Structures are given as structure tokens and as C-alpha cells.
């Protein structure tokens, strides 16, 4: 029986593993099907991790996180969790994609969420070289320059507002004539002098060269094309929350989630199921930053230690 099963080996899962094993839990295992490090390993440069003065790649930033955690006893299993279920006695059963099973007293879901791509030419080719899915991460690189934002939901409008404080001009490209985001938020955007809304327009192609993005072609309603000379293109067309492991046989989730699938937690990363925690980008209201995911993981680990000690004390009292 594991004390603590960690699902996902990104910053949240790895930070949780370090604190749980260093904090005295004996059986701590982290399940991650790929190389640990999480989605930040796709980034060629990170310059906002506190204390990290040099700009480093995501891969370099995460390199020491796994050995640091395993040094204190955390185990890494290269396997994907297919389903987490809770048994009558309050413990958890993990069913793995490999067919194996594991039992655990407490579980942390740290499986992240991934941005959707819009599907136009050049988008993937220039990802990380002018195409971005994170304004907090990359907005600063476009200080005083022009950028384009794709999307019409809450995220696109919120991030366009954030970018409007940094960029000289923000083009917001939306495929319909009405935004999904609430009118009050859209009004705040419209009030910004350096924002231009390009409605009923679809991104057709990101253009660029060796140095990165040089512009974006958009197709307008009448079929004509417009060239926007932007070095930065931000895509906010929704996210895929990686919550599959929580899906139960009846089609419901093991714990409470938001209507778009993010796990609901309190300030201590507890879900509404005792012994089940969530941390990082998979949780509701996550700022989607490495430092925040790591902090969530640490909080969850400290809470799991307290939970397990309480459970063990209860059982010893019986």
C-alpha cells in the first residue's frame, strides 16, 4: 500500500514528491508515462522562475527536479494512470494503462492541462519562436511590439488585456461577430486605444523565417486576406484538461470539477473527496506557471502528510 500516489511528473508532481518523501512518508510513488518535467520542457526559454537569473530552457530548469526527489526516497514509475477509484475503506485503487494496479492511502492528481491549437498553417512550426499559448510567460518578449491574439472566449480577452499593457498594439482575431466572453470584459478591451478587433476573421497562416514570426495572414469575411506585420501570435482557443484518470465507470468524475473539467480544490489543495488532492494546471483557477504548480504540489504534499498521520492515528485508536 502506497502512502502517497502522485499522478503526473510535471512541476506540481515533482515538488509534491520531494516534500512528501523528505517529510517522512515512506511509500511515495510518482506515475508519469514520459520523461518527467512536464510541459515546461517544451519551452526553449524560461526567465520568470524566481531565483533563476539566467534564461534557461525548460528542459534545463527541470533536469534536477527528479533526482532531487528520488534522493529522498520518491519512486518514479513510467506508467500512465487509466483510472483512480475510491474503495469502501477510504483507500484508493489506481488502474494503470499497463494493466497493473496500485493501492494508495492518498492520491495527488497533478496531470496538468494543455492548450488547444487553432489548426492554421505555421502554427506548430513557430510554437515557441513567435507563436505562444501563454501571455504571462511570453508577453514580456513583445514589450513595445505588435502582437495578434486568436480567440473570443474569457481567456483570449483576459490575456489580450494583459498584453495591451505591454505591446504597442494588440490585434484580436475572432472568427465570429460576437464574443463568448462577457460584454463587460469586452467593453474593457474596446476601451483600450492600442487594441483593434478583427471580427469574422480566421487566421490563415503564420509567416516567418529563421529568426521567428514575421507576420500573420488572416482571411476576412468577404474572402479577402489581410497581412498583420506582427512578430508575436498568441493562441487562446480553449484547453484540454487532463482529468481522464478521474472519470468513473458511470461517466461522472471521482471528485467535483468545474463545468469545463478543472478539478475543484480548496486553498489546501483538498478536493471534496478525503485523501484526494489536486495541484497545478489541472485545478480550477490555476495561474498556469511553473512556480505556482510547484507551490500547489508542496501544499498538497504537506496536507497529505497530515491526512495520513490522522488516518493512521485513527486506525491505531480502534
Is residue 212 a contact point for ligand FAD (CB under 6 A)? no
Q: Among this protein's residues, is 207 annotated catalytic? A: no
User: Is 138 a residue of the active site?
Assistant: yes
Out of 71, 100, 176, 268, the residue judged to bind ligand NAP by CB under 6 A: 176
Which cell numbers hold the place of 67? 533526482
Residue 234's H or E segment, with its range, is strand 232-235
Binding to ligand NAP, residues 101-140 (CB under 6 A): 118-119
Let me know: does 242 contact 264? Beta carbons within 8 Å: no
The one among 3, 9, 208, 305 contacting ligand FAD by CB under 6 A:
9
Q: Assess 183 for contact with ligand NAP (CB under 6 A).
A: no
Q: Which is nearer to ligand NAP, 105 or 156 (CB)?
A: 156
Kindly state whether residue 212 participates in binding ligand NAP, applying the rule CB under 6 A: no
Question: From the candidates 137, 207, 255, 292, which is the catalytic residue?
Answer: 137
Local structure of 188: helix, strand or coil: helix
Q: 36 with 11: CB under 8 angstroms? A: no
Provide, rounded to whole angstroms, the least separation between the CB of residue 195 and ligand NAP: 16
Shortest spacing between CB 171 and ligand FAD, in angstroms = 21
* DSSP at 56: B
Residue position matching grid coordinates 471534496 = 272
| Under rule CB under 6 A, residue 288 binds ligand NAP | no
Distance CA 17, CA 12 (A): 9
- The owner of cell 476573421 is 201
Q: How many helical (H) and strand (E) elements, i.e. helices and strands, does the chain have?
A: 7, 17
For the chain, the maximum distance between any two Cα atoms, rounded to a whole number of angstroms, is 76
Q: Examine residue 63 and tell whether it contacts ligand FAD (CB under 6 A).
A: no
Answer yes or no: 134 catalytic.
yes
Q: Which of 5, 237, 255, 282 binds ligand NAP (CB under 6 A)?
A: 237
Catalytic residues, by residue number, are 134, 137-138
Amino acid at each position: 500500500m502506497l502512502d502517497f500516489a502522485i499522478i503526473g511528473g510535471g512541476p506540481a508532481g515533482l515538488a509534491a514528491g520531494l516534500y512528501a518523501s523528505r517529510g517522512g512518508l515512506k511509500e511515495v510513488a510518482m506515475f508519469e508515462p514520459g520523461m518527467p518535467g512536464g510541459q515546461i520542457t517544451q519551452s526553449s526559454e524560461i526567465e520568470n522562475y524566481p531565483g533563476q537569473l539566467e534564461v534557461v530552457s525548460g528542459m534545463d530548469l527541470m533536469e534536477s527536479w527528479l533526482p532531487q526527489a528520488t534522493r529522498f526516497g520518491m519512486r518514479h514509475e513510467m506508467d500512465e494512470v487509466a483510472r483512480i477509484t475510491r474503495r469502501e475503506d477510504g483507500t484508493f485503487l489506481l488502474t494503470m494503462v499497463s494493466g497493473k494496479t496500485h493501492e494508495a492511502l492518498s492520491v495527488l492528481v497533478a496531470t496538468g492541462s494543455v492548450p488547444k491549437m487553432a489548426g492554421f498553417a505555421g502554427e506548430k512550426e513557430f510554437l515557441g519562436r513567435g507563436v505562444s499559448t501563454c501571455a504571462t510567460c511570453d508577453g514580456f518578449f513583445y514589450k513595445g511590439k505588435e502582437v495578434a491574439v486568436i480567440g473570443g472566449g474569457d481567456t483570449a480577452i483576459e490575456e489580450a488585456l494583459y498584453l495591451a499593457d505591454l505591446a504597442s498594439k494588440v490585434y484580436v482575431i475572432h472568427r465570429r461577430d460576437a464574443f463568448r466572453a462577457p460584454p463587460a470584459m469586452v467593453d474593457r478591451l474596446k476601451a483600450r486605444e492600442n487594441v483593434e478587433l478583427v471580427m469574422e476573421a480566421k487566421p490563415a497562416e503564420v509567416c516567418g523565417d529563421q529568426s521567428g514570426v514575421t507576420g500573420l495572414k488572416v482571411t476576412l469575411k468577404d474572402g479577402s486576406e489581410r497581412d498583420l506585420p506582427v512578430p508575436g501570435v498568441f493562441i487562446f482557443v480553449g484547453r484540454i484538461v487532463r482529468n481522464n484518470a478521474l472519470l468513473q465507470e458511470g461517466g461522472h468524475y471521482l471528485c467535483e470539477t468545474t463545468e469545463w473539467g478543472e478539478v475543484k480544490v480548496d486553498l489546501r489543495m483538498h478536493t471534496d473527496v478525503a485523501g484526494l488532492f489536486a495541484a497545478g494546471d489541472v485545478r480550477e483557477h490555476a495561474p498556469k506557471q511553473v512556480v505556482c504548480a510547484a507551490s500547489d504540489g508542496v501544499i498538497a504534499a504537506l496536507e497529505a502528510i497530515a491526512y495520513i498521520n490522522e488516518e493512521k492515528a485513527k486506525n491505531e485508536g480502534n
